[in-house]
Amino acid sequence: MPIIRVALDVPLATLFDYVVSEEARLEIGQRVVVPFGRKQVLGLAMEWAESSELAPERIKPVTRVLDDVPPLPQELLTLLHFCSDYYHYPLGMTALSALPTRLRALEPVTLKQALDYTLSAAGRELDMATLPKRRVVQQRILQALQQSPLSGAQLRSLSPSAPGALKVLIEAGWVECVARKAGPHLNPLPLAGEEAIVENHTFNDAHALTDEQRRAVDAVVQQTGYGCFLLHGITGSGKTEVYVHLMHEMLQRGGQVLLLVPEINLTPQLENYFRSRFPDVELVSLHSGLADGERAQNWLKAQAGEARIVLGTRLAVFAPLPKLSLILVDEEHDPSFKQQDGLRYSARDVAIFRASQRGVPIVLGSATPSLESWYNAQSGRYRMLKLTQRAVQPATLPIVRCMDVSKLPLQEGLSEPMLTAIEARLQRKEQSLIFINRRGYAPVLMCSACGWLSECKHCAGKLVLHLKGRTLRCHHCGFQQRVPHACPTCGDADLKPVGIGTQRLEETLQSRFPQARILRVDRDSTRNKGAWAAMRKLIHEGEADILIGTQMLAKGHDFPNLTLVGVISPDGALYSADFRASEKLFAQLTQVGGRAGRADKAGEVIVQTAFPNHPLFQALRAHDYEIWAQTLLAERQMAGFPPFVYQALLSAEGKQLGEVNTFLQQARGAAKDLQMPVEVYGVVPAAMPKRANHHRAQLLVQADRRKALQEFLRAWKPTLDALPAQKLRWALDIDPMEF
């Protein structure tokens, strides 16, 4: 009987053998339910085998073959193999973690049927003349539906407010939903306006491309086969427009396009944006914020080749895409492309592998590329495409000024020039954004008598003062306690908040500018579902004067009335132990600065720093990423850091520090014994040496070549798996971003 090798979600590096009866008609890539121990579990059929190492009587039969959805394509299975090998993570866990939750369940997937909207009997009899004239969108929808039933996407293309109008029409009983008839919509809607119908989709061609944009688009569309492009474009240079034109081209060729974005908060906005440009093209998003059913449905639309544009966060890199013809990675430098637990993959790197495996172009876009990508473009492995001008003409880059806080007096963390600049914006009815990367009221509470600091007893971190509920909270483990009335050490009642967080800044600015409408955007104020969307609306409608925000506000949002960005206390990154901290800071400040002055108003960025002459700020003032990248590359080369070396980080944590260290020392000994051309560093505490009562330490290994590191890891991993580590959690992180 044929033996099928199945991937299971268990921490072992092997596949598992089962038999399957002839009539079960199993195909590779199908999901199966199999017995494992005493349980029934879900697995993925990976390959057939001639024979098994198990004795025939010990091989159990597959319980059930799930044929609810088509088998996963071989291409995806190959990608999973690659990820498992490269990240040294068990194949079964790799495979299962790539699947949407619904496809990991033991039950078959049931999906909602695709729906069309059509006029009801009442709707067909309705006299349009009786409708109020103001209801333009409702009128338009009814008129369109008189011609033929339409999908939600097609109706949305009529107007951004179509969903609301549709709801009213359904409630009035004029429009109803019906199950879609098989087959594609043959006649795309003829629409008013500037769009042109090209072959089989509508393309709202909003802008004539600039020369630079044209060159970038041409270079990519002329590429045959795999090629990796680095699209380096300053903020506001119109990278998105380049993506749109590339999508258009690939859609015309009948292909699918995958667009990866870093931030889940941005996906609804981007989704709407791309829908407005391609109103009748099927577009789906894939991210962890979707309900399980919707995510499975979108995944299957991608797999069926029906969804032509797939927009998603890092997990979307695993979506099956039979017609994949282009991958776009926006903000490719963003650390959130790297998963920090389980399969610690970099979606950008996996995307590059995927493009090369498939033989299609990939475009990495950023205003501040990662040094890895920049270096690859410099050395010719990637092709560089540059956008050096802002796309909308009067919009120029903001003026960046540094305020030397070692010389200027500060009031609650704010310098006078900063306050004056904010005041000027208030008078001109423009918006200011004050950027600070610390939420809460103050980073720590201190006793002025004995110097006691509020520390988390479970972590090596400080408890942050939050005024709401008067609590001290640990941002690492979630521990909270009420603010003590007196110092726990000396009993003195004079406890003072030290440092500044978003809440304190809000309080300070509110008392200084009592009339100003201040909006604080951080993880605390946006915790409730929909809160962030509501705030964004307020900002757009000009209902907020001063925005106070953490990095959430920095990414990708376009606020035309914003003309001032203030940056408070960014200096920590300049002397951080993390060698990537200054690279990240430059990217962050460029991005947040890019929010200022995007429309017809000039923007200004004010940075409060004690090191105004630091090369980072010099480059920031000159808007010169290249100089900065050169400086950093020189430093990294001197110090022997990536991208000049390749790293793997073994980290471990446990309740007993001794056990953690013993494990890592044994791992280190085993690594040394291999005598391979890699550098094995010493065992050191993690940057956060204790978290939630677990001690954390790590061991770094690096090599000059990726291949040497991989060979070493292949030899080392089995010994790691064999080390005693019952009470520990450990993980191997390839190309680590966090230490």
What is the contact surface with Zn ion in residues (CB under 5 A)? Answer: 447, 449-450, 452, 456, 458-459, 474, 476-477, 479, 487, 489-490, 492
Q: What distances in angstroms separate CA 693 from CA 460, 461, 656, 662, one per listed residue?
A: 9, 11, 9, 18
Q: Which is nearer to Zn ion, 399 or 449 (CB)?
A: 449
- Residue among 149, 236, 566, 642 that touches ligand ADP (CB under 6 A): 236
Q: How far is the CB of 444 from Zn ion (least distance, A)?
A: 13
Phi, psi of 181 (to 5 degrees): -75, 150
Q: Which is nearer to ligand ADP, 70 or 542 (CB)?
A: 542
Answer with the entry of Zn ion, ligand ADP, none that 207 interacts with (C-beta below 5 to 8 A by kind): ligand ADP
Answer with the entry of ligand ADP, Zn ion, none that 456 interacts with (C-beta below 5 to 8 A by kind): Zn ion
- Residue among 34, 69, 209, 217 that touches ligand ADP (CB under 6 A): 209
Is residue 561 part of the contact set for ligand ADP (CB under 6 A)?
A: no
Rounded Cα–Cα distance for residues 325 and 361 (Å): 7
Is residue 269 part of the contact set for ligand ADP (CB under 6 A)?
A: no
Q: How far is the CB of 331 from ligand ADP (least distance, A)?
A: 9
Q: How far is the CB of 240 from ligand ADP (least distance, A)?
A: 3
Answer with the entry of Zn ion, ligand ADP, none that 154 interacts with (C-beta below 5 to 8 A by kind): none
* β-sheet bridge partners, residue 230: 364, 384
Q: How far is the CB of 519 from ligand ADP (least distance, A)?
A: 22
| Number of other residues whose CB lies within 10 A of the CB of residue 121 | 10
CB of 402 closer than 8 Å to CB of 417: no
Q: How far is the CB of 72 from ligand ADP (least distance, A)?
A: 33
Strand order in the sheet with 361-366: 283-286, 309-312, 256-260, 324-330, 361-366, 227-233, 383-387
- Residue among 31, 185, 201, 239 that touches ligand ADP (CB under 6 A): 239
- Residue among 138, 202, 240, 561 that touches ligand ADP (CB under 6 A): 240
Q: Which is nearer to ligand ADP, 235 or 582 (CB)?
A: 235
Contacts of 140 (CB under 8 A, 6+ apart): 158, 159
Number of residues that bind ligand ADP (CB under 6 A): 15
Answer with the entry of ligand ADP, Zn ion, none that 490 interacts with (C-beta below 5 to 8 A by kind): Zn ion
Is residue 616 part of the contact set for ligand ADP (CB under 6 A)?
A: no
Compute the C-alpha angle 57/61/63, nearest 5°.
Answer: 150
Q: Which residue stretch of 33-41, 207-215, 406-414, 419-427 sits at the interface with ligand ADP (rule: CB under 6 A)?
A: 207-215
DSSP assignment of 204-250, as one string? ---SPPPHHHHHHHHHHHT--S-EEEEEEE-TTS-HHHHHHHHHHHH
CB of 449 closer than 8 Å to CB of 494: yes
Is residue 235 part of the contact set for ligand ADP (CB under 6 A)?
A: yes
Q: Which is nearer to Zn ion, 161 or 481 (CB)?
A: 481
Q: Which is nearer to ligand ADP, 63 or 388 (CB)?
A: 388
* Helix (H) and strand (E) counts in the chain: 20, 33
- Residue among 90, 123, 227, 233 that touches ligand ADP (CB under 6 A): 233
Task: Look at residues 595, 589, 600, 631 and name the one whose alpha carbon lies nearest to residue 401.
Answer: 589
CB of 363 closer than 8 Å to CB of 356: no
Q: How far is the CB of 449 from Zn ion (least distance, A)?
A: 5
Give me Rg for the CA atoms of the chain: 28
With 0-12 / 13-18 / 19 or more C-beta atoms within 10 angstroms meaning exposed / middle / buried, residue 467 is: middle
| Number of other residues whose CB lies within 10 A of the CB of residue 658 | 9
Q: Which helix (H) or strand (E) holds 415?
A: strand 414-415
Q: How far is the CB of 459 from Zn ion (least distance, A)?
A: 3
Three-class secondary structure assignment of 538-553: HHHCCCCCEEEECHHH
Q: Which residue stretch of 234-242, 292-300, 341-349, 544-552 sits at the interface with ligand ADP (rule: CB under 6 A)?
A: 234-242
- Residue among 238, 262, 413, 597 that touches ligand ADP (CB under 6 A): 238
**Footprint (CB under 6 A) of ligand ADP, residues 370-399:** 391-392
- Listed in sequence order, the DSSP H helices in 363-431 are 371-378, 416-427
Task: Look at residues 316, 325, 219, 336 and name the one whose alpha carbon lies nearest to residue 271.
Answer: 316
Q: How far is the CB of 206 from ligand ADP (least distance, A)?
A: 7
Q: Which is nearer to ligand ADP, 233 or 361 (CB)?
A: 233
Is residue 210 part of the contact set for ligand ADP (CB under 6 A)?
A: yes
User: How many angstroms from the chain centroid is the CA of residue 457?
Assistant: 32
- Each residue 92-131 as x (binds ligand ADP by CB under 6 A) or -, in order, gives ----------------------------------------
Tokens of 10: 């268990």
Answer with the entry of ligand ADP, Zn ion, none that 209 interacts with (C-beta below 5 to 8 A by kind): ligand ADP
Answer with the entry of ligand ADP, Zn ion, none that 239 interacts with (C-beta below 5 to 8 A by kind): ligand ADP
Q: How far is the CB of 594 from ligand ADP (least distance, A)?
A: 6
Q: Which is nearer to ligand ADP, 13 or 219 (CB)?
A: 219
Task: Look at residues 563, 559, 607, 558 and name the one whose alpha carbon lies nearest to residue 585.
Answer: 607
Is residue 366 part of the contact set for ligand ADP (CB under 6 A)?
A: no
Interface residues toward ligand ADP, by CB under 6 A: 207-210, 213, 233, 235-241, 391-392
